[in-house]
Chain A
């Protein structure tokens, strides 16, 4: 099946630093990728939709200047948490839609997640 990877799987950083998380579709092309955030024992909340070659679409309440998304190729989207603070500590999950099958429904493949801890 389709595989989505995320790197790093876990990151600990100091408050005020920026952290970049990569999301890659390994064996398919993805014109659309999604970024979710999950706090402990809570559900996944969609942060933004990342479209290859264009600006990301952010959900209401998500600061686009704080969570920078770049989708420069059909297999890679990056999420940069700028000037991270302890309240940004969370589990970040990306997903990708297979461009080949997007016409038959919303087939999303999820990455394994990145656990961010900001000290």
Chain B
């Protein structure tokens, strides 16, 4: 069975601090996709990144970076020099193929508070 664990329920940092959000996943498939989404108070999910299971290259996009480690089944997300606008709930998600298509499972989410 697939599972996504985000052990950090809430994180509070001061602006300009770096913060890492952890994500550990479980799957039996060799082909799968990992995602991070941001959900601001408005509720709309904002897509941040997708990574397939065959691409372990880490990625950097501005202040965001992702560390994908298959050996530890982790896909951690780091925000560098955090800003107040980064305050939101962040979800890690796992999609794997199943009959008829894909199924996406979301982690419990990590609520990030960035204080000015």
Contact = CB atoms under 8 A, between A and B. Distances in A.
A105 B43 contact: no
B contact face: mostly helix, strand, loop, or mixed: strand
B33 interface: yes
Contacts of B43: 91, 93, 112-113, 115
Contacts, number: 53
Interface string A79-119: 00000000000010100010000100111111111010000
Interface of A: 32, 34, 41-46, 49, 51, 57, 91, 93, 97, 102, 105-113, 115
28 contacts: A32-B101, A41-B111, A42-B108, A42-B109, A43-B91, A43-B106, A43-B107, A43-B108, A43-B109, A44-B106, A46-B104, A46-B105, A49-B100, A49-B101, A93-B45, A102-B101, A106-B33, A106-B95, A106-B101, A106-B102, A110-B37, A110-B44, A110-B47, A112-B42, A112-B43, A112-B44, A113-B45, A115-B43
